Structure 1
Amino acid sequence: MRPGSVPCPSPSPSPRSTGSPSPSGSFGIPGSPGSLSMNGPMRRRRDFQLPCSPQAPKPPDGHEIEMKYQEIMKNSGILYLDGAKRPVDINELESLGELGHGTCGHVVKMRHKNTGTDMAVKQMRRTGNKEENKRIIMDMDVVLKSHNCQYIVQCIGTFITSSDVWICMELMSSCLEKLLKRNGGPIPEKILGKVAVATLNALDYLKEAHGVIHRDVKPSNILVDERGRIKLCDFGISGRLVDSKAKTRSAGCAAYMAPERIDPPDPTQPDYDIRADVWSLGISLVELATGVFPYINCKTDFEVLAKVLQEDPPRLPRGQGFSMDFCHFVCQCLTKDYKRRPKYKKLLEHGWIVRYSRLPVNVAQWYARVSERAPLTPTPTPSPLSPHATYLG
């Protein structure tokens, strides 16, 4: 245990959660570390690639990918605008400027000229790269099926041509990575309570409704809008679960990767489950609550991965006013032995989550206050190695 860190406190008794919580504010390595070959400092916005194991299910081949495209193309050019589906010509959209870069492409703010509807459009090139095409298909597949979850960014429609794929999404205002920088310091616990409620419910929905694990939970993939809604995005590297376990080792960010993904018991047969995303949520909460990425002193991929495996997990520091429930929740998320780490259902019953599922918090007011602040110059980044993929803001 590090000096100054808080040991896991006992949780407060909490009633069992019933139903989905109300929305907040009304609202994309086999072996041990010794087998790694990683030279040079980690760059920001870099995804850490994990090779697929030899015995993992084969990714879709070119024909299968094309068949999926053809299936999705049946609704290409149909957008959900003003409460109704309508055919839209791609030339009816005008660009209002780039918003950022995601896992598979870049995101542009666009407006439908006839209705004045603004949207975020993720634009991706169709290439001969099977892995890239698989990520595009996965991203589209998840968002198109998640229209009934208030905690996942909503898809308005798609445009698919022989060379490009556009995914039209509802326009959010910013991501937590950028808000942390603009805030110039830690994000209040009451806001993080709503962030955790929204993220947990989104992850639980993906698992229960679609058998999907996100695999890239981090502050840049959690979005906020001016109405105070908090939503999860970027499903390019999500994975299908087989018997509740992930059978491939596709990709992710080393900075938020769970120990069992870095050094699995059997590298040839990865079988981590949704609790890998629970770890990523815990790391994200520590970063947002303290304003500093937990492994900030690491300069290389190897260092951060080695620290995750060899050191005690991060904890919320003492003397900063965090509630005992919040400290315990983070301890639960950052349990190194994933077999002892709680799954979504158990965490949704945690006292801290139950409290913020019910407690009114004006996230919209907090967002307005933070968004009006000029960014600090120079801006202290949460982590020099944190490979966030910028989305919006």
Structure 2
Amino acid sequence: MRRSLGRYELTRELGRGGMGVVWAANDPDSGREVAVKLLAPRGRGTELTMLERRFLREARLTSRLDHPGIPAVHDHGSHEGELYLVMDLVPGRALDAVLESDGPLPVEQAADVARRTAEVLAYAHGQSVVHRDLKPSNLMITPDGEIKVLDFGVAAALEPQPGETRFTAANATPGTVVYMAPEQAVGKTVPVSDLYSLGCVLYELLTGSPPFTDGSPFMLYHQHANEPVPPLADRRSGVPDGLRTLVAALLEKKPEDRPASAAEVAALLTAWTPVLPGPRSATALAHPRLAEIAALRRSGRPARALEEYEELMAAPGVGRADLLAARAGAALCVGALGRTREALDELKSVLAEQRSLLGAGDPAVLDTRYEIAVLLVRTGERHAAVELLRRLVGDEERVLAADDIRSGRTGSLLERLRRMV
């Protein structure tokens, strides 16, 4: 049994897969325990080149991803002819082990896992990276309840960085067929291919098994591409109608029929996920210009307010929470100027980042959810608006003080919508 790789002292094997083997290791330079991933042993010559290129791409792609839901990459290289990648060692349980021991998850927990996964995907897609192998074994629940998305090892760059080349391999379909989108099986991966895989995962979290499980790889390809998804209601009762509709939308055969983005999916999933108070308030450290520009917007001057939001976003030294608040304000200006769909898409993107940064219970997150519901009403999507508002009512009661000016706004809007229906 090998015990070292350069300075890294390998202690125990954590798992094996198509890309190689992962070890826990001690890093004496940093004094921390890390995970070391080694390239699979040499096979046929042509396969070696493919694996090496894919492994090195993983190192380049993953090292530039900086998100709390993605294990950080600390080092990569070659030692005595063996390629390796050093990353955070994530404690906890993989979701496949959770499902095997505990069975299907409660609806709220399943939706929450899917929402936080969608937030990670929204970030990765924004960096032009598609995961391509989303499955329960690549989702880890840490002891404090966080979700980590593991193994971007078969990710592909949508738009390669300068100096990089797009990697494609003939007859190669990276991923796991049980969770693979129809278009991915024929080598046409797009960001919404990850959403199809997320739909398979969410279906399994709710029912205990993915939509299609039987047969050879070819038969599974055929089922994903051609056969109707077994109705979720037949496998589990009590799943809310709106959530079943969302799962069905994620599992549409054609990419263009699925939700437009991971950020949109994350926003929709907030209707069924629990909200706890966030770690800090965005307003506590708010940039002084935010309140001034918001007042200008509310006074009926959205075009001027939009210009000032854009100036603030371009200014140096503005914190991430304030940038997100400025983006949300700018989106509201865009909506007031008649570009409702553009505003809605931007708010959904902002929401995913706010929840990741501030926590689900931060008042800024509640504000963005409320404004998304308002815009959904404007676009005629009343059912989706009602689903979001129903959950938001209780969340605001738990988070907002009784004398907060925002208290009661969601209940009032929800009541007006019900009367309209």
Task: Report the TM-score, using the length of structure 2 for normalisation.
Answer: 0.56
Which has the larger share of helix? Answer: 2
Query: Given the alignment of the two structures, is residue 228 of structure 1 paired with residue 145 of structure 2, yes or no?
Result: yes
Q: For 1:193 and 1:150, how far apart are their aligned partners in 2? A: 19
Flag the structure with more relative contact order, 1 or 2, with Cα contacts below 8 A and sequence separation at least 6.
Answer: 1
User: 1:219 pairs with 114, 118, 136, which one?
Assistant: 136
| Greater gyration radius | 2
In structure 2, the partner of 1:57 is none
Query: Given the alignment of the two structures, is residue 202 of structure 1 paired with residue 120 of structure 2, yes or no?
Result: yes
Q: For 2:233 and 2:86, how far apart are their aligned partners in 1? A: 41
RMSD of aligned residue pairs (Cα, Å): 2.8
2:12/2:23 contact within 8 Å kept: yes
Per the TM alignment, residue 323 of structure 1 is displaced from its structure 2 partner at its CA by 2.4
2:158 partner SS: strand
Query: Given the alignment of the two structures, is residue 138 of structure 1 paired with residue 54 of structure 2, yes or no?
Result: no
Q: For 2:208 and 2:19, how far apart are their aligned partners in 1? A: 28
Q: Percent identity?
A: 27
Query: Given the alignment of the two structures, is residue 190 of structure 1 paired with residue 108 of structure 2, yes or no?
Result: yes
In structure 2, the partner of 1:43 is none
2:39/2:51 contact within 8 Å kept: no
Give unpaired runs (5+ residues) of structure 2. 161-165, 279-421
Per the TM alignment, residue 220 of structure 1 is displaced from its structure 2 partner at its CA by 1.1
1:150 partner SS: coil
Q: Aligned runs of 1:225-264 on 2, under 5 Å?
A: 225-242=142-159, 248=168, 250-262=173-185
Per the TM alignment, residue 208 of structure 1 is displaced from its structure 2 partner at its CA by 0.9
Change (3 A) 1:357 1:123: farther
Q: For 2:29 and 2:253, how far apart are their aligned partners in 1? A: 53
Q: Aligned runs of 1:370-389 on 2, under 5 Å?
A: none
In structure 1, the partner of 2:99 is 180
1:153 partner SS: coil
Partner amino acid for 1:256?
Answer: Y
In structure 2, the partner of 1:290 is 207
Partner amino acid for 1:139?
Answer: E
Change (3 A) 1:130 1:258: same
Per the TM alignment, residue 283 of structure 1 is displaced from its structure 2 partner at its CA by 0.7
Per the TM alignment, residue 116 of structure 1 is displaced from its structure 2 partner at its CA by 4.7
In structure 2, the partner of 1:308 is 224
Per the TM alignment, residue 325 of structure 1 is displaced from its structure 2 partner at its CA by 3.1
In structure 1, the partner of 2:247 is 330
2:94/2:137 contact within 8 Å kept: yes
In structure 1, the partner of 2:377 is none
2:105 partner SS: coil
In structure 2, the partner of 1:349 is 267
2:116/2:266 contact within 8 Å kept: no
In structure 2, the partner of 1:377 is none
2:69/2:147 contact within 8 Å kept: yes
2:11/2:23 contact within 8 Å kept: yes
Partner amino acid for 1:302?
Answer: F
Q: For 2:36 and 2:271, how far apart are their aligned partners in 1? A: 35
Q: Aligned runs of 1:15-94 on 2, under 5 Å?
A: 92-94=7-9
In structure 2, the partner of 1:95 is 10
